[in-house]
Amino acid sequence: MAIRSIVTHPNELLTQKCKEVHAFDEKLGKLLDDMYDTMIASDGIGLAAPQVGEAIQVAIVDLGEGQEVIEMINPEVVEIGGLEVEVEGCLSFPDIYGEVERPFYVKVEAQDRDGSLYELEAEDYEARAILHEIDHLHGILFTSKIIRYVDMEELENEQEDEL
């Protein structure tokens, strides 16, 4: 386990489509463990592999509400529903926060670290975090979706988890 350094904008790693994962090996497990340590050390609630320098389709989400960490390999959004506007941040954009409109509900198909296919449903901020991370795997950054920037002062009353 190790804390890796986070790739920040601008960096071409953040804007390219990540490669599909085919090898569900020890190296993948180590990457997931390192990503978790890195996310926790950075006070984040989600992290995508390109943010630690690996352009592959791996992302994690953990809202810190006592549930198991969500590990998504090769995730695909199969259903969405509703819409909600909330403030988001991103570990690759220190000090930038903004309102982003995203589906309230999402159903995702992904593989776990052993390669087993599973389905996941999420709502509200968990759905938002999952969709933010899946965007990273397609080189899509939340700044391209911000409808209103939010400054630090205003943020004190808002959620400020970073993804």
Which positions touch Co ion (CB under 5 A)?
90, 163
Q: How far is the CB of 109 from Co ion (least distance, A)?
A: 21
DSSP 1-48: --PPPPP-SS-GGGGSPPBPP---SHHHHHHHHHHHHHHHHTTBSEEE
Q: Rounded to 5 degrees, what are φ and ψ at 118?
A: -145, 165
| Strand, coil or helix: 10 | coil
Q: How far is CA 122 from the centre of its chain?
A: 14
The smaller minimum CB distance to Co ion, of residues 100 and 110, is found at 100
Q: How far is the CB of 1 from Co ion (least distance, A)?
A: 22
Q: How far is the CB of 135 from Co ion (least distance, A)?
A: 8
Round to whole Å and give the CA distance between 50 and 34.
13
DSSP code of residue 163 = -
The smaller minimum CB distance to Co ion, of residues 122 and 163, is found at 163
Euclidean distance between the first and final Cα of the chain, in Å?
20
Catalytic positions: 133
Q: How far is CA 94 from the centre of its chain?
A: 15
Round to whole Å and give the CA distance between 70 and 6.
19
Tokens of 76: 């695909």
The smaller minimum CB distance to Co ion, of residues 61 and 110, is found at 61
Residue nearest to Co ion (CB): 90
Q: How far is the CB of 113 from Co ion (least distance, A)?
A: 21
The smaller minimum CB distance to Co ion, of residues 18 and 163, is found at 163
